[in-house]
């Protein structure tokens, strides 16, 4: 996968499967494919809760901007159709 900055959603998914991080040009955060049998935790949020999750199969994780933690990624229809996906170094 090359370092073009005009990837389609399908090309971004292929990059995720190659253990690369991807993002949209309009995002500050990024997505990555977490390995199987992985757990994550992150610092307290504004309400004082500590967030964590674990899963048995691979999952695409969204790392949120400004240290906002991480969450399972959820694409919108506009993400599926976008052609501004990028590979993050």
Q: Is residue 81 part of a domain?
A: no
Is residue 4 domain-resident?
A: no
In a domain, 1, yes or no: no
Q: Specify if 87 maps to a domain.
A: no
What is the domain extent for residue 22? 9-75
In a domain, 14, yes or no: yes
Percent of the chain with pLDDT over 70: 73
| pLDDT bucket at 37, cuts 50 / 70 / 90 | confident
Confirm whether 80 is domain-assigned.
no
Q: What residues have CB less than 8 Å from 29, skipping those under 6 apart? A: 23, 62, 63, 64, 65, 68
Give the pTM. Answer: 0.74
Only one residue has tokens 């199987």, namely 36
Q: Give me the number of domains the chain comprises.
A: 1
Mean pLDDT of 59-77: 87
Does residue 64 lie within any of the structural domains?
yes
Would 82 be classed as within a structural domain? Answer: no
């Amino acid at each position: 996968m090359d370092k073009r900055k005009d990837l389609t959603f399908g090309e971004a998914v292929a990059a995720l499967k190659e253990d690369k991080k991807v993002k949209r040009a309009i995002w500050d955060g990024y997505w990555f494919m977490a390995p199987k049998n992985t757990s994550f935790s992150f610092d307290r949020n504004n309400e004082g809760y500590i967030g964590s999750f674990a899963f048995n199969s691979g999952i695409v994780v969204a790392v949120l901007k400004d240290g906002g933690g991480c969450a399972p990624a959820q694409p919108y229809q506009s993400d599926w159709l976008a052609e501004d996906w990028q590979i993050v170094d």
